[in-house]
Structure 1
Amino acid sequence: MTADAPDRTTASRATDRPRGATPFALGLLLRQAHWRAATVMMEALRPLGIELRHFAVLIVLVDRGPTVQRDLAAATGSDKAGIMRVVDDLERKGLAVRKSVPGDRRVRAVEITPQGVELFDAAHVAAESLAERLVAALGPGEPEQLRDLLTRFAYPSGGEA
């Protein structure tokens, strides 16, 4: 480094300060937002006996119907072993079942049970006031704006996962 050149190493270091200007600031901010939302939503799920990873699979099953484990893993950001453990848990709890896929004996589709649908609905009722608490500091229209921005950020091509 010469005397005329600015010291760029300290200017670009990531910090956890809000509104950080480093290239990593957005990722850190999204991570903090995720932790806050996950912590609040776990309050709704804990009394129901499930975790966020279980609920993520239930969301996919309600949205898509019976889904093969490979697609569940992709939709929830899980790996093959992780999704197998979650589906095992859901089966033990009576919330989902594995069923054979016609024409392919090796593949099993996961389907939500009526008990799983009941729990899914109960979780939404329990989470409603907690979700409102999450966005309480935002102004009118901002929760919708945040959802829109995050959707466009997560799915830049306009598609969904």
Structure 2
Amino acid sequence: MSADVPDRTAASRATDRPGDESPFALGLLLRRAHWRAAAVMGEALQPLGIELRHFAVLIVLVNQGPTVQRDLAEATGSDKAGIMRVVDDLERKGLAVRKTVPGDRRVRAVEITPQGLELFDAVHAAAEPLADRLVAELGPGEPERMADLLTRFVYPSNGEV
């Protein structure tokens, strides 16, 4: 082994096994949690004809109102081409529309339609029993505690991201 590379045992290597103490353990665990939550919530979305990527945009539109595509991409962690495809899908389904931004004809803001709001509400109703299943292994008060911890993790009070 090279002199400038520390000798690490197999126990300190990054894994996603419970109890892993590597510096990557938390990130890997959060990634697994995301996959599980996304799979469960995908079950609620599928019968309604949309995917999680579509719903992520609808969430932003409900929270922020009309939003330019550049900001939608940033808010959803998407790239420019990806967000265009999602907005195209939402427009085709009648769930969102693009409108010109006053003062800049080149920029388009995306706005949720009344049909999009109806679907948004329907998704929440369909997701409720699945959300209960998602946290079924947790004890009383633990889902709320986990939500609090994750909120503070994602939105630190010092403004760091």
TM-score by length of 2: 0.92
The C-alpha deviation readout for 1:12-64, integer Å capped at 9, x for no partner, is 21112112111111011001101100000000000000000000000000111
Match of 2:97, SS?
Answer: strand
User: Per the alignment, do residues 47 and 18 of structure 1 end up closer, same or farther by CA in structure 2, a change over 3 Å counting?
Assistant: same
User: Residues 99 and 108 of structure 1 are in contact (CA less than 8 Å); yes or no, is this contact kept in structure 2?
Assistant: yes
- Provide the residue aligned with 2:84 in structure 1: 84
Q: Distance in 2 between matches of 1:67 and 1:53?
A: 16
| Displacement of 1:7 | 4.3
Ranges of 4+ aligned residues in structure 1 off by more than 4 Å: none
User: Residues 152 and 158 of structure 1 are in contact (CA less than 8 Å); yes or no, is this contact kept in structure 2?
Assistant: no
- Provide the residue aligned with 1:10 in structure 2: 10
Query: Would you say how many aligned residue pairs link Structure 1 and Structure 2?
Result: 156
Q: Distance in 1 between matches of 2:153 and 2:92?
A: 36
- Provide the residue aligned with 2:52 in structure 1: 52
| Displacement of 1:154 | 1.1
- Provide the residue aligned with 2:43 in structure 1: 43
The C-alpha deviation readout for 1:43-100, integer Å capped at 9, x for no partner, is 0000000000000000000111100001101110011111000000000000000001
The C-alpha deviation readout for 1:105-131, integer Å capped at 9, x for no partner, is 111000000000000000000000000
The percentage of aligned residue pairs carrying the same residue is 84
| Displacement of 1:151 | 1.1
5+ residue gaps, structure 1: none
TM-score by length of 1: 0.92
CA RMSD of aligned residues (A): 1.6
